[in-house]
């Protein structure tokens, strides 16, 4: 077999890259080790930046997003017995976020690729990249071989792409946090119209949602927490203790559909390319979910990669490909800092560090009382504008402005 771009991983990064390349007349094959059902059901991020929404809509895969997504014009920071709203409509006019589950984005992209005759292969075993430092890379899998011009590693932090790069070719930066998140998906109507980020002495809590009937919650827990230690009664009791801290707020409880523990880490691999292998999304970088940046960074990566590949096929110029990592990393490190900042601002660290707790509260007071500080949070939360605008389907470059 032969294609122009071999893509490892059918998550949002790999599927969106395949779709954007298709719109530019560039062929690809997507190889995914899990089943389609698994990929479409795994619950991940749910906050889409303005630029991510614009990208999906412009690429023709945003119809259901527009119908079912929940646009939000702000978030609430809750601490010290009071709630403080960060108003996007005032601080960053014309820009907002949309709550729409990552698995829904994946469903939309799979449907679009298959409708267009795209080659997306699930339950593929033993994908191995070869000859990445030549102009004839190829992938082997399940006894087959796929020749291609380029390989895109979109297979996540634990995938095969990054380990395929020779030792010493990458510099890896990593930070692990002394806590994890217990994620809860519940069939219950959200108790608030916008996301609530709650900082308490008991630990952090987040009230989010996936639809008008399904809510998503997170609790700060120990990094080695056993999900079996959290029966439903304990979950609801702790959520109420951390969220019912302002007068009049009552948290609605319901059937819990899923529980899982997510470790908190920051990670960046530099550069995000080796030879003709280009890393995108979680294969290249991880952020703690506090800043809601993981999925959005993946979209930003594949926008840049799409343009670079389109330029190479159109003109033979490698300039954009050679600059791929540099372009992506400028946004990645900004998102790393913002995610670290939100994490350290809202979580409980050493219980014996009263100095650190006072610093947290002081900065929370500053963010909620200074319009300039709140604007910085809002600007980063809704997503910084894209400097480079891909043109899927022939849309003019200023479509994304």
What CATH code is carried by the domain that includes residue 166?
3.50.50.60
Share of the chain above pLDDT 70, in %: 96
Confidence band, pLDDT 50/70/90 cuts, at residue 396: very low
Q: Is residue 90 part of a domain?
A: no
pLDDT of residue 387: 66
- State the pLDDT at residue 336: 96
Region 361-387 average pLDDT: 94
Higher pLDDT, residue 105 or 393: 105
In a domain, 371, yes or no: no
- Region 135-153: what's the mean pLDDT? 97
Q: How confident is the model at residue 286 (pLDDT cuts 50, 70, 90)?
A: very high
Per-residue pLDDT band for 353 (boundaries 50, 70, 90) equals confident
When computed from its CA atoms, the radius of gyration of the chain, rounded to whole angstroms, is 21
Strand-pair category, 5-8 with 150-153:
parallel
Which residues, 6 or more positions from 69, have their beta carbon under 8 angstroms from its beta carbon? Answer: 48, 53, 98, 99, 100
Share of the chain above pLDDT 90, in %: 91
User: 130-144, 182-196, 340-354, 377-391: lowest mean pLDDT where?
Assistant: 377-391
| pLDDT higher than 70, residue 391 | no
What is the average pLDDT value for the chain, to the nearest integer?
A: 93
Residue 228: the pLDDT is 96
Q: Identify the domain containing residue 37 by its residue range.
A: 5-72+96-174+265-349
Where are the alpha helices (H) located in 244-384, listed in sequence order? 294-315, 319-322, 324-346, 354-369, 371-382
Residue 352 CA to residue 349 CA, distance in Å, equals 9
The answer to whether position 400 is within a domain reads no
**Which SS3 state, helix, strand or coil, does residue 138 take?**
strand
Q: What is the pLDDT of residue 13?
A: 97
The residues annotated as belonging to the active site are 72, 197, 289, 293, 381
Largest CA distance in the chain: 65
- Judged against a pLDDT cut of 60, whether residue 400 lies above it is answered with no
pLDDT of residue 392: 38
Is a pLDDT exceeding 90 seen at residue 397? Answer: no
Q: pLDDT digit string (tens) for 29-57?
A: 999 999 999 999 887 778 999 999 999 99
Q: pLDDT-based confidence at 350, cuts 50/70/90?
A: confident
User: CA 267 to CA 120: how far, in whole Å?
Assistant: 28
Q: What is the reported pLDDT for 319?
A: 95
- Predicted local distance difference test score (pLDDT) of residue 399: 30
Between CA 137 and CA 114 the distance in angstroms is 25
- Would 242 be classed as within a structural domain? no
Q: Which of the 8 DSSP states describes residue 284?
A: T
Three-class SS of residue 179? strand
Does pLDDT of 305 surpass 60?
yes
User: 83 in a domain, yes or no?
Assistant: no
Confidence of residue 89 (pLDDT cuts 50, 70, 90): very high
Cβ distance 175 to 34 under 8 Å?
no
Mean pLDDT of 141-165: 96
Write out pLDDT tens, residues 310-325: 999 999 999 999 999 9
CB 36 within 8 A of CB 110: yes
Across 167-189, average pLDDT: 95
Residue 93 reports pLDDT greater than 90: yes
When divided into structural domains, the chain yields a total of 1
């Amino acid at each position: 077999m032969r294609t122009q771009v071999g893509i490892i991983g059918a998550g949002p990064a790999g599927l969106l890259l395949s779709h954007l390349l298709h719109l530019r007349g560039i062929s690809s094959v997507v190889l995914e080790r899990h089943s389609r059902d698994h990929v479409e059901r795994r619950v991940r991020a749910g906050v889409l930046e303005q630029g991510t929404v614009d990208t999906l809509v412009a690429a023709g895969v945003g119809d259901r997003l527009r119908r079912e997504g929940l646009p939000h014009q702000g978030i609430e920071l809750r601490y010290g017995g009071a709630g403080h709203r960060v108003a996007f409509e005032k601080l960053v006019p014309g820009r907002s976020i949309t709550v729409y589950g990552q698995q829904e984005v994946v469903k939309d992209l799979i449907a679009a690729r298959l409708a267009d005759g795209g080659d997306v292969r699930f339950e593929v075993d033993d994908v191995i990249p070869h000859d990445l430092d030549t102009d004839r890379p190829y992938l082997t899998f399940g006894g087959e071989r796929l020749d291609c011009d380029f390989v895109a590693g979109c297979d996540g932090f634990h995938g095969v792409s990054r380990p395929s790069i020779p030792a010493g070719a990458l510099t890896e930066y990593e930070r692990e946090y002394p806590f994890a998140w217990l994620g809860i998906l519940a069939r219950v109507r959200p108790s608030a119209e916008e996301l609530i980020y709650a900082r308490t002495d008991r630990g952090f809590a987040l009230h989010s949602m996936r639809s008008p009937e399904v809510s998503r919650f997170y609790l700060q827990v120990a990094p080695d927490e056993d999900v079996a230690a959290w029966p439903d009664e304990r979950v609801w009791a702790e959520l109420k203790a951390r969220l019912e801290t302002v007068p009049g707020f009552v948290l609605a409880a319901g059937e819990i559909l899923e529980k899982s523990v997510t470790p908190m880490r920051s990670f960046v691999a530099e550069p995000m390319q080796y030879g003709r292998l280009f890393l995108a999304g979680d294969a290249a970088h991880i952020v703690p979910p506090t800043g809601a940046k993981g999925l959005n960074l993946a979209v930003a990566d594949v926008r840049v990669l799409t343009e670079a590949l389109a330029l190479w096929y159109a003109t033979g110029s490698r300039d954009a490909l050679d600059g791929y990592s540099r372009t992506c990393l400028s946004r990645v490190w900004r998102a790393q800092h913002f995610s670290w900042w939100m994490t350290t601002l809202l979580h409980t660290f050493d219980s014996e560090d009263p100095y650190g707790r006072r610093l947290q509260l002081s900065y929370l007071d500053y963010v909620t009382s200074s319009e300039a500080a709140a604007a910085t949070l809002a600007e980063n939360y809704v997503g910084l504008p894209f400097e480079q605008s891909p043109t899927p389907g022939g849309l003019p470059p200023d479509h994304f402005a």
